[in-house]
Chain A
Amino acid sequence: MRYSGFRVIAEALTGHKGWKPVWRDPAPQAEYDYIIVGGGGHGLATAYYLAKEFGQARIAVLEKGYLGGGNVGRNTTIIRSNYLLDGNEPFYEFSLKLWEGLEQDFNYNAMVSQRGIINLIHTDAQRDAFTRRGNGMILNGADAEMLSRDQVKAMYPFLNFDNARFPIKGALMQRRGGTVRHDAVAWGYARGADMRGVDLIQNCEVTGMRIENGRILGVETSRGFIGAKKVGVAVAGSSSKVMAHAGMRLPMESHVLQAFVSEGLKPFIDGVMTFGAGHFYVSQSDKGGLVFGGDIDGYNSYAQRGNLPVIEDVAEGGMALMPAIGRARLLRTWGGIMDMSMDGSPIIDKTHVDGLYFNGGWCYGGFKATPASGWCFAHLLAKDEPHKTAAAYRFDRFLKGLMIDEKGQGAQPNLH
């Protein structure tokens, strides 16, 4: 069923009796050409592009819970392509371009809102670093602008510009960055994949892998064995657990990241703002709630909830930047499990097992990557070679010294 303005009016006049479930609920078949493990944003996008762009069929997505119940439904919805390094920026710019055409492409309202993102500057050194990053972005076809203190002040006059420790001296801005309705991304890809014949199988946890003579034959699941010619794993924070079924140890740790929403307020933050020095970032949702967050909790965690010290730290960062936030009440906090990699960058690669492919290591920034990650993973699965924007996201980059470490922190996942 295609959605359109006409359809909404026609349904309104006929008592909304024509709407149907958005996707089927099929039982798993005995065998598929492609099994995608994980029904988050990346898994669903992979299945969608496999069917739509790469003309493949007999595809299933296996999800242990419900579609979109993982990080794709827990993140703070920011999209941007403001990376510095060559391994990253072309990929994230590819993703941003896909976001720009996504709603037309999958015929679903994902509320893609290019409201602009600014990264605040407090020192001359930081201005130099951001100028360099902005130039790197422009060289890769993205947009970037340096804002003066007065320009930032015109946008957000209520910020604490004269904070003694971190006075605001300007910002790096990407106008094409913004936010997207995260659940709608999962639903839109799921619906688009289902319409193209992909079986979306929920409540189906992968509990093992059947591997013989170095080749994958299928996966053991809570709903029995399902055969497959190729298996692609995209399970975010559960990456180490799932890949252990193939005997792999990953360059990854799982950490919890929290997010926060305040009560609804009148509109006063038009775009997205990051205060890196204070470990705080914020945007305002269309319902008026301030959506904000900060650092990961900092130690390995598979608990989908965080601890209080980080809540205090994020609240302090918010108060330092915009004291007005102190008058708002916090409505909700929650957490999601991040697949924090050793250099802060992702992996989209083959494995040592024929027919087994891996997509993960997205850290706290994989939502913006969803379209390109799905596209590039589908490319790898269908063609057995990496997409040109994801060619650097290899397992062996650690062995070869080709890390993509935006922050320069080294093999210390909780610092990326």
Chain B
Amino acid sequence: MIINHPILGPRDAQEFVYLGDASLIDRPDGMTAGIESFHDYLYNRDNPAGLHRELWYHEQGDRSWLVVTRNTVSHEITSVELARDVARARGRSK
């Protein structure tokens, strides 16, 4: 698979480490969220057959985290964003 890195251009997926569902960006607030929502966040997944937004880390590259939208049936990648931009757009790190 080739991941089209927003800054570096097309890179071999072998340069990356895979973390999983991009919903991991939405970590609940540790001070206010209950144990159930933390449990759901940490352990439960949608695990879809089809489009999946997922976190990849460019370990052997620029060390950036990416949100890759990939089809888990065909492996077609339709969008690649910097995770930083996605997280900020969702109100994180303000």
Chain A interfacial positions (CB closer than 8 Å to B): 240-241, 249-254, 298-303, 307, 309, 342, 398-399, 411-414
| A301 CA to B76 CA, complexed, in Å | 11
> Closest Cβ of chain B: how far from A92's Cβ, in Å?
23
> Closest Cβ of chain A: how far from B23's Cβ, in Å?
10
| A53 CA to B39 CA, complexed, in Å | 37
The answer on a CB contact under 8 Å between A414 and B75 is no
- List of A residues within 8 angstroms of B39 by Cβ: 398-399
| A381 CA to B76 CA, complexed, in Å | 40
- List of B residues within 8 angstroms of A412 by Cβ: 19-20
| A249 CA to B39 CA, complexed, in Å | 12
| A249 CA to B48 CA, complexed, in Å | 10
> Closest Cβ of chain B: how far from A237's Cβ, in Å?
9
The answer on a CB contact under 8 Å between A252 and B1 is no
- Known contacts being A298-B18, A299-B54, is A250 close to B44, with CB within 8 Å? yes
The answer on a CB contact under 8 Å between B73 and A302 is yes
| A412 CA to B57 CA, complexed, in Å | 14
Q: Is the interface of B mostly helix, strand, loop or mixed?
A: mixed
Interface residues of B in 17-40 (CB under 8 A from A): 18-21, 35-36, 39-40
CB nearest neighbor in B for A399: B39
The answer on a CB contact under 8 Å between A300 and B54 is yes
B14 at the interface (CB under 8 A from A): yes
The answer on a CB contact under 8 Å between B14 and A309 is yes
Q: 7 extra interchain contacts, Cβ-Cβ under 8 A, other than A249-B40, A249-B44?
A: A241-B49, A254-B49, A299-B18, A300-B47, A309-B13, A411-B42, A413-B20
| A307 CA to B43 CA, complexed, in Å | 27
Chain B interfacial positions (CB closer than 8 Å to A): 1, 13-14, 18-21, 35-36, 39-40, 42-49, 52, 54, 70, 72-75
- List of B residues within 8 angstroms of A301 by Cβ: 72, 75
- List of B residues within 8 angstroms of A241 by Cβ: 47, 49
The answer on a CB contact under 8 Å between B20 and A249 is no
| A41 CA to B70 CA, complexed, in Å | 31
The answer on a CB contact under 8 Å between A250 and B49 is no
- Known contacts being A300-B52, A309-B14, A399-B36, is A254 close to B72, with CB within 8 Å? yes
The answer on a CB contact under 8 Å between A240 and B73 is no
- List of A residues within 8 angstroms of B13 by Cβ: 299, 309
| A298 CA to B75 CA, complexed, in Å | 13
| A309 CA to B1 CA, complexed, in Å | 9
The answer on a CB contact under 8 Å between B45 and A252 is yes
> Closest Cβ of chain B: how far from A325's Cβ, in Å?
23
- List of A residues within 8 angstroms of B42 by Cβ: 342, 398, 411
The answer on a CB contact under 8 Å between B54 and A254 is no
Q: 23 pairs across A/B with beta carbons < 8 Å?
A: A240-B47, A241-B49, A249-B40, A249-B45, A251-B44, A253-B20, A253-B21, A253-B47, A254-B47, A254-B49, A254-B72, A299-B13, A299-B70, A300-B21, A301-B72, A302-B49, A302-B73, A307-B75, A411-B42, A411-B43, A412-B19, A412-B20, A414-B20
| A196 CA to B86 CA, complexed, in Å | 57
- List of A residues within 8 angstroms of B18 by Cβ: 298-299, 414
The answer on a CB contact under 8 Å between B35 and A399 is yes
> Closest Cβ of chain B: how far from A176's Cβ, in Å?
34
- List of B residues within 8 angstroms of A252 by Cβ: 45, 47
- List of B residues within 8 angstroms of A307 by Cβ: 1, 75
CB nearest neighbor in A for B50: A302
CB nearest neighbor in A for B74: A303
The answer on a CB contact under 8 Å between A303 and B73 is yes
| A165 CA to B19 CA, complexed, in Å | 28
> Closest Cβ of chain A: how far from B36's Cβ, in Å?
7
CB nearest neighbor in B for A397: B43
Task: Report which of A240, A298, A299, A302 forms a contact with B45, defined as CB distance below 8 A.
Answer: A240
| A301 CA to B39 CA, complexed, in Å | 24
CB nearest neighbor in B for A341: B43
> Closest Cβ of chain A: how far from B50's Cβ, in Å?
8
> Closest Cβ of chain B: how far from A71's Cβ, in Å?
16
| A44 CA to B79 CA, complexed, in Å | 41
